[in-house]
Amino acid sequence: MARNALILIAAVGLAAAILILWRGSAATETAAQDQAVIALGQRLYAENCASCHGADLEGQPDWQTPLENGRYPAPPHDETGHTWHHADPLLERIIRDGTAAVVGDGYESDMPGFGDVMSDAEISAVLAYIKSTWPEREGAIQSRITKDSAP
């Protein structure tokens, strides 16, 4: 009887160890996939966004002051801007359709839509890259805004 109890304890311990290793490998795999998405987003950002929003996501100077044509300079996407104040679906829509299409009412913007250039997955990758650069506080706030905006 004592032998059966020891075998049972050993089996439970082995099962727990296997579960821990399996979960750990799944977490490692997920982290690797996340890093691949971020790397893709970084490349796409450099190719499509950096010319206006800056290589370091710093935006254009005086981005809150309208230009002579009434349009605004490209805002930063780092923590000094307002990107992190918006939910993922809105940010993805702005990237896909352009700011004027999202704001409507005749609003004019130099921000074009990239829906003809990037797939929805690529647009999400760009956003994942941008979000990966934010400090923990801004990332947590933006995550909560996204969660609260979900239907």
Domains of the chain: 34-149 (1.10.760.10)
Q: What is the pLDDT of residues 79-130, one digit of tens each?
A: 999 999 999 999 999 999 999 999 999 889 999 999 999 999 999 999 999 9
With a CB cutoff of 8 Å and minimum separation 6, the contacts of 73 are 59, 60, 61, 62, 63, 65, 67
Dump pLDDT digits (tens) for 5-26: 556 565 555 555 454 555 554 5
Alpha-helical regions (H) of 57-119: 88-97, 99-103
pLDDT tens sequence across 25-62: 455 566 777 999 999 999 999 999 999 999 999 999 99
Residues 6+ apart with CB under 8 A from 120: 92, 96
The angle at the Cα of 49, spanning 43 to 55, to the nearest 5 degrees, equals: 75
